[in-house]
Amino acid sequence: MSDIQLYSAKSCPFAQRTRLVLLEKAIAYEEIEIDLDNKPQWFQTVSPYSKVPALKRGGELVYESAVINEYLDEIFPEPSLMPREPGRRAAARIWIDYCNSTLTTTWYKVLLAQDGENRRKLGEQLQKHFLFMEEAGIGKLGGKYWLGDQVSLVDFTFYPWFERLPVMAHYRKITLPPACRRLAAWAGRMSERPSVKALALPPETLIRNASKYADGTQTGPTADELRDD
């Protein structure tokens, strides 16, 4: 039996980031599925923000997907998913932060927006973020993956939202701008990785899972934190 427990939800893109890293590193773990619509009371004791993913290893409790992923990379250094050189490590953290602070927040705002004008403005912002990622991000270092030829935590941090592009297309008619050729090629390459294939959910399932955001019926912290119309 493994000494690692992951509190997770199959529908959650943040938990998917961590499940991808666990698979890539072939780390044995026990997965505890949390019903996000009906969270058990004890969940708060393992996840202070009451969110998945949260990870327990022996007596240590770690939460926030980006933090968990760096923790796993330090505890299980092979294969390494962070560059060794400090400048490149900083670049990796900058993009991970960008994904958390900019891409995903705009993403959910677009999905949650019920007012047409607000939705249009937010949709434009989302497309600008994609163009920025194309120009300032994936294109800069030249290679198969975000930071070059080695796959890294940056790739696993962004990918779940690229798997969910059909959700954006379905509910908000927003697609990756045609100029984002490198991003599109990268997403295609990522989708072929065995870890990604093992966890991939079909577009119909992703679309169904997102309906509570898109049709305005989602309540709870995620919606309250992000809704601005």
Ligand X SMILES: N[C@@H](CCC(=O)N[C@@H](CS)C(=O)NCC(=O)O)C(=O)O
Contact residues for ligand X (CB under 6 A)? Answer: 9, 12-14, 36, 50-53, 64-66, 220-222
What secondary structure letter does DSSP report for 4?
Answer: E
Beta bridge partners of 60: 57
SS3 of 90, please? helix
Nearer to ligand X among residue 50 and residue 211 (C-beta): 50
CA–CA separation, 224 vs 229, rounded Å? 11
CB of 114 to ligand X, least distance (A): 19
- In the complex, the smallest distance separating the C-beta of residue 106 from ligand X, rounded to whole angstroms, is 15
Q: Does the CA dihedral 178-182-187-192 come out positive or negative?
A: positive
99 flagged as catalytic: no
The answer to whether 110 touches 172, Cβ cutoff 8 Å, is yes
Q: Catalytic residue, from 12, 20, 52, 55: name it.
A: 12
C-beta of 205: minimal distance to ligand X in Å?
14
- Least distance between ligand X and beta carbon 86 (Å): 24
Q: Which two tokens stand for residue 75?
A: 């505890």
Question: Quick one: 48 or 220, whose CB is closer to ligand X?
Answer: 220
Toward ligand X, which CB reaches closer, 188 or 221? Answer: 221
For ligand X, the closer of residues 64 and 163 by Cβ is 64
Q: Where are the alpha helices (DSSP H) in the chain?
A: 13-24, 43-46, 65-75, 86-98, 104-112, 116-132, 139-141, 153-163, 165-172, 181-191, 194-199, 203-209, 211-214, 221-226
**What residues are labeled active site?**
12
